[in-house]
Structure 1
């Protein structure tokens, strides 16, 4: 176990407390609206990961939350069946009818009655990735990964046993394969399974692939919808499939060239399917997202938000039949409010501040429950009126409270060089004043299609504030929540307008007399790491740079990333259209680098492969620039293990203290 790190006053450092903080991750409401369940992650005994358990929250707020009876470690993803049974995913052990254990337990689907014991609902030899249940029927759908040559769980289990016995795990691919994010390349292919009320399981639309979480069941359990994945040959297009839940036969297939569909949900009467439609960025067009409805009788597709300038998240249709009201969230100027869409298309913003997720609506459609967070608040369970505009939520008792934060939150605004109004969050440490101006750390967000609007467990600003740093969280071009114009401004120029916007907001922040313009640094993760790399080739104003999982050589990146087809749509083929690579890839300007840099990277990162960090590190060494590489061999695109998170924060803080504040480096 990693040694505990303490402040001079004897209290644990803030990043130590942050790593150990319980995390609320998902919320579920019972069909009768009387039970509210939240999944809570806690640090494990070994200090190397998290366990999840289920807690019950009082919807009325009149009593404290309590651990769900018979909930054990590794219970997550709560949802309810139509009869009120609590469903969840778990890796808990289960013995067969004769007491024998299955070949490979993995993550299974379990059910728990309010006063009963947990029982296994569905099991798949390779584990279940996600599930959904019908609102009015005893039908469940789940996503699991059979081998291409297997038709059901039994043959898949036999095939796995044969591979393990032969000690062979090689796979032959007809098309170029790619891992995804932090997941290694595997032979299995995700499919949607439907567990019927008679206990039989069918594979829905088995001729195609299904997304790992994008599926839905009609309220009566008769239809299942899922997405068939895009391929390298058609990287911008996926297909929504609606299949018969009894036979698995395809009923409808919806697609539009250049678009992808996500986050499926049936309306309460089952007549339509609503979902998110994305037009991803290309060389000539910017990214655009809306919500659409597929009429299952006419097969017509309708844009539900033609005038909504920001990007909506998951749709939540009204549970009341014949009521076409819908709720959704969407980024908006440093927040992620809840919105209501009425039958006539009127859109009302229901929340004044904060970022909302995991929306649940009561059976009568009058009340919403959600997880609410903000830059200065970890996720908490809240209750909202389903109608009132710009309201403040009612907070409900649940685990996850955090001690007072070491500073205050404010905003910074500035005009961009093209006149666009920019904004960002500024975290000020305690004691910052004109007499004692604080050093400034600039942290651009990842994405690039993202926004600083919610609490984050990775690259959280408050550990830096606790150490005395002010932290600027800028939203530059390509950020979400500022309309389509923000996407147009940054299209195809990752290191152009977005970089200039970050500098404009940095200059605006440093115009304050409580910040010290002579002691500044920049740090970022993923796309933010790329902007940090870009900054070190374009300016020497920063005393230190921290690049975490950042792109360095865009030409080699486009061939190795799991998003290679997506990235080449934006930047083009480097052999025939090299212009954007030459204009935006930091490695072309390596000779300009002088600023000391700390590089942080996970060895199992498939989004930004490890070679990006190694080539950057080698270049800095060749040029004689002070550089350190913090390598986590077992981590992916995000540093997640609590002991690793603490080490990362402490290493970054010591690096900044040395190069920004001039302190002697701490031994590590």
Structure 2
């Protein structure tokens, strides 16, 4: 029998936000899976003993919301991506050791956990397997990686030869060559059909290193066909992503929705009867228009699509309830919503509009939707949303680990008007703020720029600062999601002055409160927000400290070294083509105007904003400092094994302590951080 925990008294909710490590050890709900017999399972991540990594395990949840969760899996390697088979068994991915010794070591395999009995390996491959879909007959769709130019049949031998020779070279024939935090070109992603007994067959033997890069795919319930994104290279270093249909028997691939220079496709999801596909149509960004996405339903037999009118919602996730209904979630007005779609007409009904919801898992009988709900005050938590009836919908919270208790301050929505447009954001105020003791203020600018402050964040959590007496303002300025296409395009193409004007106007509005101290302020941002902090540093001296993480510094350098170079160059061209734009908006041109102490943080494995941005910024700050080296206020926290984000819990503890300590030193007059950071 699988080891389980009994239903017990609920854990004590976490509420000590002065404890950084404690916050980062809270269990995190990652995904949900609904079973054919009414079962509900969650993948839950938690830091290991040393904080060196996050480990995922599977937990049984009570769909009725009455009983506490119980743990199903316990391996040190962890288990993730749960999916139910039609027979009620639970499939998942794990690199845990196989007691029989038949699975490839240290790579993810597909495992099956029956309702009664122990888990066992269903299938494994030298390049690992990631479960994508499960058919009613028990067959599965998975992805694997094979060495470039090879096949599933010869991959084990080829890998062994490469390892024995210690070969690390990659032969590039075009773009892209990097993606977020890994190299592209050494391996090729392939779709694999897996029989119920574990037999495997390649479905896409002709895939090159780009075809299925970051692909999204789905399997029909009858197991006869799959749909997938299919990316091809075109001239100018660009790629285009189409939608392909792959027949399992006979193995055959055809293009269903062909990408053009003006638009591509993403996120195919097959209807239960296998005749239609829900998909996003994404327009290509240009110097005058950002990329817009449209949710459509296409017949595999051709014909006019059904367009889903989602209003201002920026579509995030969607899932078929049955052949007649689709559920859609996304960002909406700095919160979020879940919509129920009539797939014949595209008409929508709003189910909830109070918060973002992810990991959509419709119940097998179509009566309810299970999802992970989050907001600015609450980590992702499972909820049950009724789908039947036409009256008011009230979601039920399902007990699960990872509860958070009382917050150290107050959360409220604030707004101002800029050039006739309402600009809003969330303000987190500490409990101790008063006219006699006004709170210092942090302004945080979000990344993207297509993003929104509407959900809980483990990486940038404002409540850690609030617990230390800071107020934190989190605006949703121009180009934020959830405000329709007009909101996405306001401020395009990445006009830093437009975003800064809106952020500063909202900051000035909240600083009219006597409970906030406008003379003690800090500015923080990451990714696009890091670009903004870098640009603002050369245009304003109103802040006592600036923290920039993974920020763009020299746009002439970043635009052609990022893994998204084709997108950047398509929108902004090269410096000799748009010299005025680069002069005005590349932060490095304004380095000599920086007087505010800056903390630069960056991961070496960040390929979206390469670490060369931080290296060049650091050189400009250090070489431009005219005082003695000992008096230079700037600091650089280099995260040598992190990517665009700070994912390792132990590194996140260090990052948070450094950020808070730096701001306390330069804004509040706290103790200087030591030269050798003891974190």
The TM tier, using the shorter chain, reads over 0.9
Alignment of 1:54-133 (within 5 A): 54-68=58-72, 73-94=77-98, 99=101, 102=104, 104-133=105-134
Give the distance between the partners of 1:130 and 1:277, measured in 2 at CA.
25
Alignment-derived partner of residue 416 in structure 2 = 414
For structure 2, the 5+ residue unaligned runs are 1-14, 626-631
- Structure 1 contact 31–82 (Cα < 8 Å) conserved: yes
CA contact (8 A) 1:202 1:248 kept: no
- Cα distance, 1:300 vs. partner? 3.0
SS of 2:582's partner is: helix
1:507 match: secondary structure: helix
In 2, are the aligned partners of 1:281 and 1:491 still within 8 Å (CA)? no
Partner of 1:190: 189
1-structure distance, mates of 2:103, 2:353: 52
Q: C-alpha separation between the residues in 1 aligned to 2:73 and 2:537? A: 54
| Alpha-carbon shift at residue 165 of structure 1 (Å) | 1.4
Post-superposition offset of 1:169: 2.0
Secondary structure, aligned partner of 1:462: helix
Alpha-carbon offset, residue 631 of structure 1: 0.6
Q: What SS does the corresponding residue of 1:224 show, helix, strand or coil?
A: strand
1:464-489: CA deviation from partner (whole Å, max 9, x where unpaired): 00111000111111110011111221
Residue 157 of structure 2 corresponds to: 158
The 3-state SS of whatever aligns with 2:127 is coil
Partner of 2:587: 586
Which range is displaced more, 77-86 or 53-62? 77-86
Determine if contact 1:554/1:581 at 8 Å carries over to the other structure. yes
Aligned pair partner of 2:315 in 312, 316, 328: 312
Normalising by the residue count of structure 1, what TM-score does the alignment of the two structures yield? 0.93
Q: CA deviation at 1:61?
A: 1.4
1:4 aligns to what?
none
After the TM superposition, which of the residue ranges 269-278 and 175-184 deviates more from structure 2? 175-184
CA-CA distance at 1:368 after TM superposition: 0.9
Question: 1:212 and 1:327, CA in 2 relative to 1: closer, same or farther beyond 3 A?
Answer: same
Equivalent residue of 1:505, what SS? helix
- Mark the CA change 1:210 to 1:450 in structure 2 (over 3 Å): closer, same or farther: same
CA distance in 2: counterparts of 1:142 and 1:114, whole angstroms: 22
**Partner deviation per Cα, 1:596-654 (whole Å, 9 max, x = no partner):** 00001111111111111111111111222621001111111111111111111111111
SS at match of 2:448: coil
Partner residue, 1:647: 654
User: How far is 1:345 from its partner?
Assistant: 2.8
| In 2: Cα distance, 1:191 partner to 1:575 partner | 41
Offset of residue 303 of structure 1: 4.6
Match of 1:53 among 57, 65, 73: 57
Query: Normalising by the residue count of structure 2, what TM-score does the alignment of the two structures yield?
Result: 0.92
Q: Is 1:206 the equivalent of 2:211?
A: no
| Residue matched to 2:536 | 535
Give the drift of 1:133.
1.3
Kindly indicate whether residue 225 of structure 2 is the aligned counterpart of residue 223 of structure 1.
yes
Which range moved further: 124-133 or 10-19? 10-19
Which residue of the other structure, out of 299, 302, 310, is the alignment partner of 1:295? 299
Q: Are residues 493 and 46 of structure 1, via their aligned partners in 2, closer, same or farther at CA, if it must alter by over 3 Å?
A: closer
Say how many residue pairs are matched: 648
Is contact 1:88–1:110 with CA below 8 Å preserved after alignment? Answer: yes
Structure 1 residues not aligned, in runs of 5+:
1-9
Tell me what 1:13 maps to. 18
Confirm or deny: 8 A CA contact 1:361 1:367 kept in the other structure: yes
Match of 1:514 in 2: 515
Q: Is the 8 A contact 2:290 2:488 kept in 1?
A: yes
Cα drift, residue 275 of structure 1:
1.4
Aligned to 1:174: 173
Partners of 1:12 and 1:381 lie apart in 2 by 23
Q: Greater strand share, 1 or 2?
A: 2
Note the aligned Cα RMSD (angstroms): 2.0
User: Alpha-carbon deviation of 1:568?
Assistant: 1.3
Deviations 1:429-460 (A, max 9, x none): 11112222111101111111110111111111
